[in-house]
Structure 1
Amino acid sequence: MFNTNPKDALPPMRAGERESRAGGEQYCLSPLPLPTDSEGLADVAHIDVHHDGVTMDIRQGASPDSMMTAGHMLSVGTVFMNGFFLVVFCMAMIKNTAYSQVLAFWGGGLYFGFLFVFILGIIWINTLLKRIPPIRLNRQRREVAFVVEPPSRFWLPAPQNLWLTSAAGVAAAAPGGMGVIEIGEWLRGTRESFPVGLTLLHIGALAFFYVYPPIYDALCRLFKRERRTVLVPWEDVVAVCGFNPNLGPGAVTGFGWNFALLPPEPERPGYTLPGAGIMVGVGGLPGALTQWEYIRRFMEEGADAITPSAREWGVEWYNAYVAREKAECERTNDPARWRRFRRKRLWEHARFAHWYTEYRMKHILPKAVPKDWLAEWSNPLPESQWAKPSLALTELRGALRAAYQRGEKFVEMGDVEKRFSINSIKFRQTPYPSFPFK
C-alpha cells in the first residue's frame, strides 16, 4: 500500500494481516482502528505537531538533526578550503607572486561551499516543509483530512523537487563563487569592468527559489491541477508498518522499519490516493505499534489519553542538554569528555541548528496550510452530534481484549475479522467528500 500508483494493485490488506515480500515484512494495523497488544503509546516519530480536544495535526516536522548535518558539511567544506588555501598560499609565498589571485580563489571557494549548504540545508528544506500540509484528524467527526495531489504528472517539476533544486543550486553557487573571484580581479585592476553578467546570473538563480513556487501554483490553477482536501472516514484509513531492506549498489545496506498512515482510493481497491499520507521511520515493530496506539487512542479516547513526547529541540532545550552534560563531566572529573562534547557541538553548529529548528516550527511549518484551512470542520461539536464507532469495530474490540487476556498477540492473529468471524468489509464505490486546497 506504500506505492500510490503501482502497475498492479496489491490485494487490500485488513487489520492483523501480515505479508512477506522482497526480503521484508508488512503488518497491517487498520482499516478498522483496532487496539493492539502494545505495552504503551508514544509519539515515536515526533509527528504530532499540534493537538487539542478535537483535532490532531500529524506531519514530519522540523528536526535539528538535518541542520546539524548541514553544519557538519559546512565545517568540512570550510576546513578543506582553508587547508587548500594555506598550501597554495605557501606556494605563492615561495614564488613571491599571485597573492591576490590566491585570496580571490579562497574567497570564491568559501562562498561556493556556503551556498551549497545554504541552498540544500535551508532553502530546499524550507520549501519542502512549506509544501507538505499536515494530516488533520477530527475525533468528534471520526474523519481524517488528507491533502491529495492530482492523479497524473505535471509537465513542470514541483518546487520541492530535489533535481530542480540541485540544478538551480549549481546555477546559483557556480556564478557566485566565480563572481567573487572576478570581483577580486576587478578590485586589483586586472579586470577592466565589474562582472555584471555573473552577478546578475547569481542573483537571478537565488531569486528563482522564491519566484518559481508562486508561478508553479498559478500554472497549476490555470491547468486545473490544484490539490484537494479529502475527508476520509477514520475507520477506512489504512495504517501499516513495514520492515524493508535498504538497497545500495549491488548489496543490501541495511533494514529499516517504517510506519505509514494512508487514505485508500474507494474506486480502486488496493490503491491509495495519490500524493497523500505519511510514512516515517520507527525503531522497530514495537515502535510502530506504540506510534499507532498514540494516534488511535487520541481518536478513540481523546487528548487526555495520550502524553506528548518531550520536545527535543529549541535553544532552551539545548542549553539544558549542555548543562546536564557539563554537570555529568564535572561529577566524573572527565574534562576530556567535556572537550570532545564541545568540539562536536561546535563542529555541527548545534546551537544554531536548535535555534533555527525552533524558528522553523513557529514560522515555516504554519505556512504549509492557509490560515482558515478546515476552520469550520475543526470546530467542536455538541456531544450529541459526535460520530459513533461502527458495530463491527465495537464487537472486534471486545473479542480482541479477551484474546489478549488469553495471551494471544495481535501481530500473530492474521486477518482479525476472519479470526473472529466478523465481516465489516464494505468497499465504497463513490469518492470521498473533497474540496480544493487553497
Structure 2
Amino acid sequence: MFNTNPKDALPPMRAGERESRAGGEQYCLSPLPLPTDSEYAVDVSHIDVHHDSATMDIRQGANPDTMMTAGHVLSVGTVFMNGFFLVVFCMAIIKNTAYSQVLAFWGGGLYFVFLYIFILGIIWINTLLKRIPPIRLNRQRREVAFVVEPPGRFWLPAPQNLWLISAVGTAAAISGGMGIIEFNEWLRGARDSFPVGLTLLHIGALAFFYVYPPVYDAICRLFKRERRTVLVPWEDVAAMCAFNPGLGPGAITGFVWSFALVPPDPQRPGYTLPGAGIIVSVGGLPGALAQWEYIRRFMEEGAEAITPSAKEWGVEWYNAYVAREKAECERTNDPARWRRFRRKRLWEHARFAHWYTEYRMKHILPKAVPSDWLAEWSKPLPESQWVKPSAAVNELSKHLRAAYQRGEKFIEMGDIEKRFRVAVPAASQQAYPSFPFRRGSSR
C-alpha cells in the first residue's frame, strides 16, 4: 500500500493486520485512529515542523547531516584539486613555463568542484524542500489536508527531478570551469574573442534553476495538471509501518524500518492518492508505534498530550554541542580528542551546515505552501463545533485499553474490528473534497 500506482491493487488492510511480503513485513496501524500499547509518544523522525492548539504540520524538514555530507565531499574535492595542481605547478616551475595556464586550470577545477557541490547540496535540496508541501492535520475538524499530484505522467520533468538537476548542474559546472580557463586565454592574447558562448551557457544554466519552476507550474496550469489540496477524514487516513531487507551484491545487508501516513483513494479501494503522504525512516517497530502515537495523541487529546522532540540543529545548538565536547575533553585531559573533534567539524563545515539548516527551516520550508493556504480551515473553532470521534473509535479504544491491561499486544491481535466484533460503517466511495493548490486558493 506504500506504492501509489501499483499495477495490481493491494487488498485494503485494517488496523491491527500484518502481512509478509518479499522477506519483509508490514503492519497496519489505521484506518481508525486507535491507541497502541506504546508507552511513548515521540516525534522519532522529527517531522512535526509546527503545531498549535488546532493544527499540526508534518513533513520532512531540513537536516544538517545532508549539509555536512556535502561539506565532506567539498573538502575531499578541494584537497584533491589542490594537491594535483600543486604538483603540476611545481613541474611548471621546474620547466619555467605555462604558469598562467596551470593557474587557470587550477582555478577552473576548484570552481567546478565548488559549483557541482553547491548545485546538488544547496540548490537541488532547496528546490526539493520548496516542492514538498506539508501534511496539515486539524484536530478540531478531524480532517487531514494532503496535497495530491495529478494522475499519470507528464511530458515535462518536475523541477526537483534529480536527472534534470544533474544534467543542468553538469552543464553549469563544466561551462564555469572551462569559462575561467578560456577567460585566461583571452586575457593573455591566446584567443581573439571573449568566450561569450561559455559565459552565456554558464549564466543560462544557473538561471535555469530559478526560472524553470514557475514556468513548469504555469505549463501545468495550462494543461490542467495542477496539484490539489484534498481534505481527508482523519478516521480514513492509513498509517503503516514496514521493514524491508536491504539488498547488497548477493546478500542482505540489513533491514530498513519505515513509517507511512497516506490518504486512501475512496474511488479505488486498495490504492492511495498519487503523490500524497509521507514515508520516513524509524529505528524499528517501537519507533514506528511511538511516531504514530505522537500524531494520534495530538489529534485525539490535544497539543498538551505531546512533547515535541528537542531541536538538534542551528547555531545555538551547535555552539552548546561544541562547548559540551570541549568541557568533556578538558575534564578527561584529552587534548588529542579535542583536536580530532575540531578537525572533523572543520572538514565537514559543520558550523555552516547548522547555520544553513536553521536558515532553511525559517525561510525555505515556508515557501512550500502559499501564505494563505488553508487559512480559514486552520482557524480554531469554538469547542461546541468540534467534530467528535465516531462511536466505533470510542468503543474499540475502550476494548483495546482493557486488552492492554491484560498484557495483550496491539500487533498480535490481528484485525481489531474482527477481534472485538465491532461493526464499522462501510467507507464512502465518493471523492474527498478538493480544490487547487495555489496562491489565492485558501479555504
Distance in 2 (CA, whole Å) between partners of 1:319 and 1:262 is 38
Distance in 2 (CA, whole Å) between partners of 1:425 and 1:78 is 63
Distance in 1 (CA, whole Å) between partners of 2:168 and 2:250 is 31
RMSD, aligned CA? 0.9
* Map of 1:295 onto structure 2: 295
Distance in 2 (CA, whole Å) between partners of 1:412 and 1:191 is 77
Following TM superposition, by how much is the alpha carbon of 1:188 offset from its aligned partner in structure 2, in angstroms? Answer: 2.2
Following TM superposition, by how much is the alpha carbon of 1:69 offset from its aligned partner in structure 2, in angstroms? Answer: 0.6
Following TM superposition, by how much is the alpha carbon of 1:95 offset from its aligned partner in structure 2, in angstroms? Answer: 1.9
Following TM superposition, by how much is the alpha carbon of 1:250 offset from its aligned partner in structure 2, in angstroms? Answer: 4.4
Local SS of the residue matching 1:308:
coil
Once the two structures are superposed, what CA deviation does each residue of 1:166-212 show, in whole Å capped at 9, x if it has no partner?
Answer: 01101111111100111122222222221111011000000000000
Aligned ranges 1:206-225 → 2 under 5 Å: 206-225=206-225
Local SS of the residue matching 1:30:
coil
Structure 2 residue identity aligned to 1:280? V
Once the two structures are superposed, what CA deviation does each residue of 1:369-406 show, in whole Å capped at 9, x if it has no partner?
Answer: 00110000001111111001111110100100111011
Following TM superposition, by how much is the alpha carbon of 1:249 offset from its aligned partner in structure 2, in angstroms? Answer: 4.7
Structure 1 residue identity aligned to 2:405? Q
Distance in 2 (CA, whole Å) between partners of 1:47 and 1:347 is 28
Following TM superposition, by how much is the alpha carbon of 1:117 offset from its aligned partner in structure 2, in angstroms? Answer: 0.4
* Aligned residues of 1:258 and 1:280 also touching (Cα < 8 A): yes
Structure 2 residue identity aligned to 1:27? Y
Structure 2 residue identity aligned to 1:121? G
* Map of 1:315 onto structure 2: 315
Aligned ranges 1:9-158 → 2 under 5 Å: 9-158=9-158
* Map of 1:267 onto structure 2: 267
Following TM superposition, by how much is the alpha carbon of 1:253 offset from its aligned partner in structure 2, in angstroms? Answer: 3.2
Paired positions, count? 438
* Map of 2:330 onto structure 1: 330
Following TM superposition, by how much is the alpha carbon of 1:247 offset from its aligned partner in structure 2, in angstroms? Answer: 3.0
Distance in 1 (CA, whole Å) between partners of 2:367 and 2:250 is 41
When normalised by structure 1's length, the TM-score is: 0.99
Following TM superposition, by how much is the alpha carbon of 1:248 offset from its aligned partner in structure 2, in angstroms? Answer: 3.9
Once the two structures are superposed, what CA deviation does each residue of 1:115-166 show, in whole Å capped at 9, x if it has no partner?
Answer: 1100000000000000100000000000000000001111100000000000
Once the two structures are superposed, what CA deviation does each residue of 1:320-359 show, in whole Å capped at 9, x if it has no partner?
Answer: 0000000010001010100000000000000000000011
Distance in 2 (CA, whole Å) between partners of 1:17 and 1:94 is 75
Distance in 1 (CA, whole Å) between partners of 2:110 and 2:188 is 20
Structure 2 residue identity aligned to 1:165? I
* Map of 2:171 onto structure 1: 171
Gaps of 5+ in 1: none
Local SS of the residue matching 2:194:
coil
Percent of matched pairs sharing the same residue:
86
Once the two structures are superposed, what CA deviation does each residue of 1:31-50 show, in whole Å capped at 9, x if it has no partner?
Answer: 01111111211100000000
Distance in 2 (CA, whole Å) between partners of 1:252 and 1:149 is 34
Following TM superposition, by how much is the alpha carbon of 1:254 offset from its aligned partner in structure 2, in angstroms? Answer: 2.5
* Map of 2:441 onto structure 1: none
* Map of 1:375 onto structure 2: 375
When normalised by structure 2's length, the TM-score is: 0.98
* Map of 2:361 onto structure 1: 361
Structure 1 residue identity aligned to 2:292? W
Local SS of the residue matching 2:29:
strand
Structure 1 range deviating more: 177-186 or 324-333: 177-186
Gaps of 5+ in 2: 439-443
Matched, 1:424 2:427: no
Distance in 2 (CA, whole Å) between partners of 1:389 and 1:130 is 34
Structure 2 residue identity aligned to 1:130? K
Local SS of the residue matching 1:298:
helix
* Aligned residues of 1:62 and 1:360 also touching (Cα < 8 A): yes
* Map of 2:188 onto structure 1: 188
Residues 162, 249 of structure 1: CA spacing in aligned structure 2 closer, same or farther, 3 A cutoff? Answer: farther
Distance in 1 (CA, whole Å) between partners of 2:91 and 2:260 is 57
